[in-house]
Amino acid sequence: MTTRRRRAIAVRAGLAAALTALAACDGPQSVLSPAGDDASQLTTLFWVMLVGAVVLWTAMNGFFFWITRIRTGEMSRKWAEALIIGGGILFPVVVLTALLSYGLTIMPDQRAPGDGLRVRITGEQWWWRVEYWSEGADAPVVSANELRLPAGLRSDIELTAARVIHSFWVPALGGKMDMFPGRVTETSLAPHTPGTYRGQCAEFCGLSHALMAFRAVVLPEDEFDAWLAREAEDSAAPPGPGRDVFMAEGCGACHTVRGTEAAGQVGPDLTHVGSRQSLAAGILPMTSDALVDWIADPEAFKPGVEMPGYDHLPQEDMMALARWLEGLK
């Protein structure tokens, strides 16, 4: 291989890598397009650190260049001692102290107390159990695989896990926080821009770790209140063939649909499943086609998933079931 060809390949690979990296700078799961106070602060921290690092790197390399190529003469002892003490001890102490103080001062902000709403999120394999505790409420509003938050308010986030360690991370809204079985960790989020963002488990948690995502939907405060009130209601669970299939096939063993006999606690609450934007913890669209595919063979979409496949159901039962679930708004 000629040197020129090698160089061309290297350039192309470099360009591809740069494009990939740049592509991550925008979109629903980017730390660089913040939609919350915490993420904004972290973004500022990132830029300060980056600029500081670039300045230091440039200065150090410039200095090396100067001393080895430009001013190559012998250095006096006095000069050398000043350089070692000043550049090796004083300068790093001052710079690092400043950065550390800045970093430490913003750390408590990430755990600032919220304005009333408390959301408890439990990492399951591989989905998210989400419970909304309004101020003063004695029972939570249970949902799953989607986090809705009011814009302009700070909400407490309580995190725990069922069996293995997970990590909760919505890059556009704030920093990540690990979730441990048998322990509660706390963070808080104060989103400021309404929109839909993406969260992802950020700690390897088993076969389908990469398929454990969710949507984080930030709503204006009044819309959020209206949504939470609707979410708290029982499902209309309209009678019909789909409901009959759901009840006859035992779906309620694992899933709750409030307002019916289905009270299972093992899998996600389906009371208003049709109102969610995604299916199967952020990996499929919420459509009846996707519901049919998922229910028939969840393993095909999420290796190791606990939900058993229902490919023994006749097609018409499956369609009726999917349409009914899609209608649970």
What residues line the site for another protein (CB under 8 A)? 162, 244, 247-254, 260-266, 306, 308-309, 312
Minimum distance from CB of 160 to another protein (Å)?
A: 12
Nearer Cβ to another protein (30/145): 145
Contact 267, 307 (CB under 8 A): yes
Rounded CA-CA distance 163/124 in Å is 7
Minimum distance from CB of 266 to another protein (Å)?
A: 5
Q: Which amino acid is at 165?
A: I
Minimum distance from CB of 243 to another protein (Å)?
A: 9
Q: Decide: helix, strand or coil at residue 102.
A: helix
Distances (CA, A) of 54 to 47, 69, 91, 327: 10, 22, 16, 54
Minimum distance from CB of 309 to another protein (Å)?
A: 7
Sign of the torsion formed by the C-alpha atoms of 176, 181, 185 and 188? positive
Nearer Cβ to another protein (115/244): 244
Nearer Cβ to another protein (115/297): 297
**Structural element, H or E, at residue 94:** helix 91-106
Rounded CA-CA distance 130/146 in Å is 7
Nearer Cβ to another protein (28/241): 241
In eight-state DSSP terms, residue 90 is I
Minimum distance from CB of 222 to another protein (Å)?
A: 33
Nearer Cβ to another protein (223/297): 297
Minimum distance from CB of 229 to another protein (Å)?
A: 25
Minimum distance from CB of 318 to another protein (Å)?
A: 14
Contact 113, 123 (CB under 8 A): no
Long-range contacts of 173-182 (CB under 8 A, 24+ apart): 173/34, 173/35, 173/36, 173/38, 173/39, 173/149, 173/197, 173/216, 173/218, 174/36, 174/38, 174/39, 174/42, 174/110, 175/38, 175/39, 175/42, 175/110, 176/202, 178/203, 179/121, 179/122, 179/123, 179/203
Minimum distance from CB of 157 to another protein (Å)?
A: 20
Contact 217, 148 (CB under 8 A): yes
Nearer Cβ to another protein (109/158): 158
Distances (CA, A) of 247 to 243, 257, 274: 6, 10, 17
Nearer Cβ to another protein (162/228): 162
Nearer Cβ to another protein (27/308): 308
